[in-house]
Copies of this chain bind each other. A is one copy, B any other.
Amino acid sequence: MEVHILKRNNNSLSTPLILINFKTYSEALGEKAVRLAKIAETVSEKTGKCIAVAPQYTDIRRIARETKLPVFAQHIDPIEPGAHTGKILPESIKEAGAIGTLINHSERQMKISDIERCVLSAKSLGLLTVVCAGTANISMATASLNPDIVAIEPPELIGKGKAVSKESPEIIADTIALVRQINKTITILCGAGITSGEDVKAAINLGTEGVLLASGVVKASDQEAVLLDLAIQI
């Protein structure tokens, strides 16, 4: 597969990409988050494949400092610095060392105008954006807002252990067709149910440039073995 480099200011990612969402799993919190990130770093170094991580907010700084991995936030709020309480200021995740953020994950969906606002504010700060979508048409819709990456994740398959790339290849094919109608270069990831190198291979064969996954790695009894399998096959 061809390698692409996504750059925004000094931040860069390359495809094919494995992006691990740590969610709010206790298996990926605090010390355990750092340990998992270090495993990912080792696998990335061994295989030469790009692995990025999206830990909880409180762990962004440590992981950005203690590893060389590209770190993403799981969400940002559509706000500017000022009188907001309890919200995720885009500047705060950048200051802590993130190079980008997920937006509109199926577990943290937003109004469409807020997605646009977040994409624009992330761009103005030099942060990379991964906008998540649950259907092919929504993928096309989010591509209209010009994020760096669109990630198609059918919510009905998330965390179910059946890979989208094998269970619903038509959703991925439709997504690619619709997104490419309006944008030839945007990076397309897929996710939901990805747990093995085979799932990843199927995803790449369908034309995506990587995968977004969570429980498949985070909750694996041997996280390193799973990641290695994914990275070798991607």
Contacts and interface: CB of A to CB of B under 8 A. Distances in A.
Interface of A: 21, 23-26, 29-30, 56-62, 73-75, 79, 81-89, 91-93, 95-96, 102, 104-113, 115-116, 133-135, 137-138, 140-142, 144-146, 155, 158-159, 178, 181-182, 214-215
Contact of A111 (B79, B87, B111, B135): B111
Contact of A83 (B109, B112, B158, B182): B158
A182 B96 CA distance: 39
A102 B84 CA distance: 13
B138 A83 contact: no
B144 A178 contact: yes
Contacts of A108: 84-87
Contacts of A105: 85-86
Contacts of A137: 116, 144-146
A67 to B, nearest CB: 16
Given A29-B95, A112-B109, A215 B89 contact: no
Contacts of A87: 24, 107-108
A131 B141 CA distance: 13
